[in-house]
Amino acid sequence: MKENNIQNKAIHAGKWSFITELAAKTVGPISNMVLARLLAPEAFGVVAIVTMIISFADMFTDAGFQKYLVQHEFKDDEEKFKNTNVAFWTNLGISIFLWLMIIVYREQIAVLVGNPGLGSVIAIACLQLVFTSFSSIQMALYRRDFDFKTLFLVRMIAICVPFTVTIPLALLGLSYWSIIIGSIVMQLSNAVILTIKSKWKPGLFYKAEILREMLSFSIWSLAEEISIWATSWIDVFIIGVLLNSYYLGLYITSQMMVNSLMAIIIASIVPVLFSTLSRLQDDNINFKKIYYKVQRLVSVLVLPMGMGIYIYSDLATQIFLGSQWSEASKIIGIWALTSAVMIVFGNFCSEVYRAKGRPKLSFLAQVLHLVVLVPTILISAKYGFWTLVYARSLIRMEFVLVHFLIMKVAMGFPILDTIKNVLPTAFSAISMGILGFFLHQMNSSVPWSVLSITICALCYFGILYLFSNIRNEIFEFVKSLVQHG
Least Cα distance to 329 among 319, 317, 343 occurs for: 317
* 18-32, 227-241, 456-470, range with the lowest pLDDT: 18-32
pLDDT of residue 149: 67
Find which of 44-53, 88-97, 183-192, 295-304 is predicted with most confidence, using mean pLDDT: 295-304
For the residues 404-428, what does the mean pLDDT come to? Answer: 93
Instruction: Give 158's pLDDT tier (boundaries 50, 70, 90).
Output: confident
Specify the pLDDT at position 484: 47
Share of the chain above pLDDT 70, in %: 85
The mean pLDDT of 191-200, rounded to a whole number, is 79
Q: Where is average pLDDT lowest: 70-74, 332-336, 382-386?
A: 70-74
pLDDT given for residue 459 in this prediction: 94
Average pLDDT over residues 111-127: 84
pLDDT value, residue 267: 67
Query: Among 34-43, 240-249, 329-338, 439-448, where is mean pLDDT lowest?
Result: 34-43
Whether 472 has a pLDDT exceeding 70, the answer reads yes
pLDDT at 485 over 50: no
Average pLDDT over the chain, rounded to an integer: 81
pLDDT reading at 347 higher than 70: yes
Decide if pLDDT at 7 tops 60. no
pLDDT in tens, 58-115: 776 665 677 677 766 777 777 888 888 888 888 888 889 989 999 999 999 888 877 7
